[in-house]
Amino acid sequence: MINVGDVNSKKERMLALLKVRGPSLPIQLARDIGTEMLFANAFLSELFNDKKLKMSNMKVGSSSLYYLSGQENLLENFINYLNIREREAFLVLKKEGVLEDAKLEPVVRVALRAIKDFAVAVNVNVDGEPELFWRYYLLSEDDFRARTQEVVYGKKIEKKVENKKEEKAEGKIEEKLEKAVEDEIRKDVVGEVKIENPVKNVRAKRKAGQADTKFADFVKEYLAAKEVEVLQDLLIKKKDYSARVRLDTLFGKQEYYLVAKDKKKIGEEDLLVALQKAQALKMPALVIAKGGLDKEAEESIKEWKNLVKFEKIK
């Protein structure tokens, strides 16, 4: 029988081995400290619960890897144990740093969700709409914000402006807009990054009350006729309208993320974007449009029927 002193000694030896070797399998640690696998797994479980070491989501065979805080980068030595799709997704994410989920192929999305050790999911508030982005796990928070800004709006945030005396009027306006972006980014909440389009914000202030609401009003009338309650407007554009809505079902009231589009054809990408935004808000999606579904969208709606509903406006 192993006494308490012996247990603590073996745990300390495990930590010392991890410090030197880096991420290791339970079978390796059991062999090196001279104990049975049953006891080694118990020791590792206790150390993990005490937050003295970490455990990988990735499996090598049927076992996770154990490692110390600060050794996360060493997990990349084991990427050959990922399947081919997961390795490809990892390499793309490592190269780009940031990926926008809505613009990825479905197979890449699935792979990123599987490699949790290397891909960090972050909900980003873009112009009031939730968007899912993937961050390479070693990318700093500041770099993530800057890179996301580039991905969304195609430009970097300049923190310093040289030769202020020689700036032209346009340059001064640009500086103010970029500062507005920085201010918005710093208003983060836990688990969410907020990024607003500065040009859009300025224009919105100039044109307050001038938004084209004809389509939104038309959709609201249509919903009212169907006894669908609009809880909150999320997006109002000339040909797009999004909202949180609620309707009665056989099992009580159900909330949906509504996407309405003034389009002749709804494609698979429209459904994917609606689904992704709805999932970010933890609710199903309801897509309505003046036009119908194209072939690919028809196939997808059958597959996702429990997650996204479609109705043609009549």
Q: Note the pLDDT tens digit of each residue in 232-285.
A: 999 899 899 999 999 887 778 889 999 999 998 998 888 888 887 887 788 889
**Domain termination site, one of 187, 205, 223:** 205
223/188 same-domain check: no
- d(CA 18, CA 23) in angstroms, rounded, equals 6
Task: Judge if 94 and 60 occupy the same domain.
Answer: no
124 within some domain: yes
Query: How far apart, in Å, are the Cα atoms of 224 and each of 247, 249, 292?
Result: 10, 16, 21
> Do 225 and 164 belong to one domain?
no
67 and 26 housed in the same domain: yes
Tokens (6 digits) for 20: 């030197």
Average pLDDT over residues 211-226: 87
Higher pLDDT, 164 or 270: 270
What is the average per-residue pLDDT within 133-137? 94
Total of domains in the chain: 3
Q: What is the maximum span of the chain, computed from C-alpha positions, in angstroms?
A: 81
Which has more pLDDT, 172 or 227? 227
User: Which pTM does this prediction carry?
Assistant: 0.50
More confident: 189 or 54: 54
Boundary-marking domain end, from 205, 229, 250: 205
Same domain, 162 and 104: yes
Residues 145 and 247 in one domain: no
Rg (CA), the chain: 25
Question: Of 66-70, 189-193, 276-280, which range is least confident?
Answer: 189-193
250 near 279, Cβ under 8 Å?
Answer: no
pLDDT of residue 281: 81
Please report whether residue 77 resides in a domain: no
Domain presence at residue 67: yes
Report the pLDDT value the prediction gives residue 191, as an integer from 0 to 100. Answer: 46
Q: Quick one: 193 and 218 in the same domain?
A: no
> Within a domain: residue 44?
yes
Confidence grade of residue 189 (pLDDT, cut at 50, 70, 90)? very low
- Residues 121, 193, single domain; the answer is yes
Cβ(98)–Cβ(139) below 8 Å = yes
Q: Which residue, 72, 91, 125, sits at the end of a domain?
A: 72
CB within 8 Å of 249: residues ≥ 6 apart: none
On whether both 184 and 265 belong to a single domain, the answer is no
CATH classification of the domain holding 10:
1.10.10.10
Residues 227 and 259 in one domain: yes
Does 272 reside within a domain?
yes
The whole-number pLDDT of residue 150 equals 81
Position 205, amino acid: K
Residue 224 structural domain? 214-312
pLDDT at residue 210, rounded to an integer? 54
CA-to-CA distance for 127 and 204, rounded, in angstroms?
11
Mean pLDDT calculated for residue range 95-107: 90
Q: Where are the alpha helices (DSSP H) in the chain?
A: 4-21, 26-33, 37-49, 84-96, 106-114, 141-153, 169-185, 198-206, 214-225, 268-280, 295-303
Q: Are residues 166 and 133 in the same domain?
A: yes
pLDDT higher than 70, residue 30: yes
Domain CATH for 300:
3.40.1350.10
The answer to the question of residue 252 being in a domain is: yes
Q: Which of 43-52, 179-188, 291-300 has the lowest mean pLDDT?
A: 179-188
User: Between 44 and 154, whose confidence is greater?
Assistant: 44
